Amino acid sequence: MKPVVSNSRICRDNPCEDKSVSLNKRMLGKSGIEVTEIGLGLWAAGGGDWGEANSKADAAALNAIDTALDAGVTFFDTADVYGPFHSEILLGKAMQGRRDRFVVATKIGWQGFDEANNCSGYKTTEQVIAGVETNLQRLQTDYIDVIQFHIDFRESTMEVFIEAFEKLQTAGKVRAFGVSSGDFEYIHAFSQNSNCATLQIDYSMLNRTPELEILDYCKAQEIGVIVRGALAMGLLTGKFTESTSFPDDDFRHKWLTDPEQNAEFKNDLVKVGKLQSLVNPERTLAQAALQFVLEHDAVTTVIPGARNSRQVMANIAAADAPALSDEELALIGSVTPPAGGRKIWPA
C-alpha cells in the first residue's frame, strides 16, 4: 500500500452506520498536490451519456458534492464535455465561498473535435489557452489544480496542448497538468515533458491491462495516477443482471441492443458473479472494487461517480472496509489475470 500522508475521519454510511472511516490523503505524483485517496467523479453529474440532466438530478448532484466535501473528500474530477459543460457548471456552483476546500481536476480536448483530421479542434496554443479560460469561467475560479488533455490517443496537437499547459502553469492558472489515456506509447510520448504530473486511466478488477507496463512506468516517473472506471460503469456494484434495463439516452443501453456489446455484457456478468464471494457483512462488492485499485502502489486516487449522497458515503466507506486477503486477491486473479481483462469504456 502507498504510504499515508494524512487522514480525516468520516461517518461510515454503509454497511455499518455506527463506525467511522479514515480517509487517507496521498501525494499526486510530482505535482506536490495532496488529494484524498477516494475522490468524486462528476461525469454522470453532467447528464449527456448518462441521461438527461434536470433540476432533480442537479439537486442530487450538488447534494452529493456537499456530502463528499463534508465527509473529507478533497478531489473532484470533471471535464468540459461532461454534459457538455453542465458538470463543470455544477461544480462551479458548489465551490462558491469555499474554493480552498476543493482540489479540482478538469479536462479539455474533445469539444469541437476535428473528425476530418482525427485530431483535437484546438490547433494553436492560443486556442488551447482560450479554451481553458472557458473551463475557468464555468468553474467560477481563477485557477485549476489539474488540467488534463482528454484526447486518449496520439494525434497532431499533443505538443500544442503541452506548450499551452506550461504557459498556463507559469501564469498561475493551472497548478499541474497531465493526460487521460490507456495507450502506453502515447502516455510515454506525452510524459517526455518532465512537467507531466498526472495520468487518468481506466483500471478495475475487470480491466487490469494498466498493470502490464503503465502503472510501473508512472511510479518510476513520479506521475500521479487517477483511476476512473473502478466500478466498471456500474458492473462491479453487483446490481446488474441480464434483465437490467437502461434508459435510451444512457450509453449503456447499447449493452442490451448491440449484439457484440450484449455478448460482452453477459460475459462480464458471469465474471462479476464469481467475484460476489468478496462481499461480506463489512464490505460490498463496490467497496472491494475500490480497495483493489487502491492496493496498487502506483495509484494515487480513485474517482468513482455517485448520483446521490448515499452512493458517495458507500464509496468512501471502502477506505475502512476489511483489507482484501491473499485468497481474495487470488480469486480476483482467477477471474481477471494480472495485466488481463478489457477496457469497459474505450477511452
**Is residue 81 domain-resident?**
yes
Regions of the chain where pLDDT drops below 50: 1-5, 8-19, 50, 347
> What is the predicted pLDDT for the residue at 20?
56
* pLDDT computed for residue 329 by the predictor: 98
Residue type at position 78: T
Q: What CA–CA distance (Å, rounded) separates 190 from 184? A: 10
What pLDDT shows up at residue 13? 39
150 in a structural domain: yes
Taking each helix axis as running N to C, give the angle between helix 326-335 and helix 259-275, from 0 to 180 degrees, rounded to the nearest 10: 160
Give the DSSP H or E segment for 198: strand 196-202
* pLDDT per position as a tens digit, 163-221: 999 999 999 999 999 999 999 999 999 999 999 999 999 999 999 999 999 999 999 99
Can you give the pLDDT at residue 16?
Answer: 36
Show the domain range for 258: 6-335
Asked whether residue 76 is domain-assigned, the answer is yes
Q: How many helices (H) and strands (E) does the chain have?
A: 11, 11
What CATH number is associated with residue 304?
3.20.20.100
Domain presence at residue 345:
no
Q: What whole-number distance in Å separates Cα of residue 9 and Cα of residue 222?
A: 28
H helix or E strand, kind and range, residue 125? helix 125-139
Q: Residue 264: its pLDDT value, please?
A: 95
Residue 262 lies in a domain: yes
Q: Quick check: is 342 in a domain?
A: no
> Residue 343's pLDDT is what?
85
Q: What total of structural domains would you count in the chain? A: 1
Please indicate, yes or no, if residue 343 is contained in any of the structural domains: no
Confirm whether 340 is domain-assigned: no
Number of residues that make up the chain: 347
Helix, strand, coil tally for the chain in percent (to 5): 40, 20, 40
Query: What is the DSSP secondary-structure string of 11-51?
Result: E--SS-TT-EEEEEEEE-GGG--EEESB-EE-TGGG-TTB-
Q: What is the pLDDT of residue 2?
A: 47
pLDDT at 307: 86
Half-sphere exposure at residue 201, Cβ-oriented, CA atoms within 13 angstroms:
29
